[in-house]
Amino acid sequence: MCGLLIADDEEIVRSAVKRVITERVPALAPVFEASSGEEAVSLARQTRPCIVLMDVKMPGLGGLEATRAIRAESPCTRVVMLTAYDEFSFAQEALRLGAVDYLLKPVRPSLLLDVLQRVESQIQQEEKNRIQHEEASSLLKEALPLVEARLVRDLLEGPRDANAAADAHLSGVDRVLSRLGKTISWPAVMLVEVDRFDSVVQGMEPDRYERFCGLLDDIVRRAMPGPNNRLIGQTRPGMWAVIVSSDPKSADVEGIRALGHNIRYAMESSAPVTATIGIGHRYATLGRVPLSYAEAVRALLYKPHFGNNCVIHIVDLPDAEDVARPYPVELERRLIAEVRLGHAQDAEELLSKLADHLLAHTDQPAETIQIRLGELLALASRAAIEAGAASAETLDLSRQQALALRRLTMASEMRAWAFTSLAALLAQLNRGDRSAPLVSQALQYMRDNMQHPGLELEDVARAVHLSGSHLAHLLKAKMGTSFVKYLTQLRVEEAKNLLATTDMTVAAIALAVGYEDAAYFHRVFRRGTSLTPATYRQLLHTDGPITRRAAKDRLPMRPA
């Protein structure tokens, strides 16, 4: 124990209480005495007792004021109030100040001992809890790097079970990140590889090897800013995987590359080794971390080409995207497709890659980048209009954004402009009726290709950049029928036209409208018109043209 202080202006009370405590509760020793409130505050400051027995009424500084001063300096000190006055206001104020009990004088020794033993038990339990908490915190601190390394490995590898749902995997990752107090958005992977590591550690004693590896690990961690926005795990001796957050609207390739140089400089200045860092692209979700990891691995494979002690971004590779090489048209095509579909996340991810390509080197004229970004905006605007965005508003928005682009010269500003423009276009698209033009395109594609026997819903959906299920839903909502029934109607109507206007055989007409089996075509035609193809033609050609027209009017298309 750390002692007990008796504060009372009556010496006889102090002596009696001290005698009881010394004889019955020796574990509370040493016992200090104070005859006034001022002396109690001074002694408490010097001795830091665990328990104070405080008289309420004392000359000068009263017991309540002294309690307030002591608790302000030592909040853990327990105060038991003693008084000859049985007034509720005193007890209420004492408890408000943090007193643990309130006893009336003269205090029976048994009651005093019960209170002191209870308070002592509380102190011992809290001390036990404190020690357990410190031990648990120490163990957790030691385990954190292991937990973080396991999390990094899980992210790099992705779901181990190919049949496992990616959402479930990422949900578990998010829970661990939350417990670690970390937030990772738009992750990019950096691989830190110590140059000639095996040669450096060859012949080291085990304890020296452990200290050396610990030093390198500490260097990597200290070189990375924002501990809550990155994950670090050692993948093998001499190599670390670092998953960093990035802001795609303001950060660029050079910004992430600078983080790699931080590690390289720290390694070179703090240890007798150098390191080479490989960096992959950043992606919109944690589920794409394996892709960035694969790119970082690929970047490190070019170490013989670039040399040791350097930073290699995936865009630096001879066959990687680079402004000095052909423009990545495929990325642009995919971006436009995602804009047409209104897929914001995928569109942002593709835009980030295109921006990386355009802004990878700062020695380009600003005008060159502006022209390319302006072309990209024009294509995206056209795609948004085709997908249902209001044309006048979208074109006006595109014009305003193009004017704003001309005033920008810095790469970070142009990057932010690109994402702002994309968000504005997608917002414009969400305000329009996107389904109408898509359904029209799908129906036209069906009319143009119904002669192909193998035409399926997925073929049409792919042509208008929709999923098959989504297109089926739109057709049902807009046309009131299914894909198969509408395609059958188109084919039967075209067959009726060919029967009326040509001398083609029924078998040839069946092939012309997409049926390889003439017998099956007969059944479909009869189900739709209540007539066989031959009967239908005969009826049309037995009367004059006027009569044929009337006959066609009398033979409405029956639902397939």
Peptide bond into 59 cis (omega under 30): no
- Domain 481-554: which CATH number of 1.10.10.60, 1.10.600.10, 1.10.1240.10, 3.40.50.300: 1.10.10.60
Radius of gyration of the chain (CA): 40
CA angle 186, 225, 361 (to 5 degrees): 60
User: Is 4-107 CATH 3.40.718.10?
Assistant: no
Fold topology of 145-316: Alpha-Beta Plaits (3.30.70)
**Which residue, among 207, 273, 203, has the nearest Cα to 240 in the 3D structure?**
273
475 pLDDT band (50/70/90 cuts)? confident
- Which strands make up the sheet holding 188-194, listed edge to edge? 230-236, 239-244, 188-194, 275-282, 311-313
Beta strands in 226-274 (DSSP E): 230-236, 239-244
Mean pLDDT to the nearest integer, 50-54: 92
Mean pLDDT of 121-132: 85
Percent of the chain with pLDDT over 70: 85
User: Which of the four pLDDT bands, split at 50, 70 and 90, describes residue 336?
Assistant: confident
What integer pLDDT is reported at residue 556 of this predicted model?
A: 43
Distances (CA, A) of 197 to 184, 212, 357: 30, 11, 33
User: Position of tokens 């209001």?
Assistant: 390
Kindly tell me the burial class for residue 429, based on how many C-beta atoms sit within 10 Å of its own C-beta (0-12, 13-18, 19 or more): buried
Kindly tell me if the per-residue pLDDT of 208 is higher than 50.
yes
- The pLDDT of residue 102 is above 50: yes
What would the pLDDT profile of 129-163 be if each residue is shown by its tens digit? 888 877 766 665 566 677 788 888 888 877 654 44
Higher pLDDT, 534 or 133: 534
pLDDT score of 347: 86
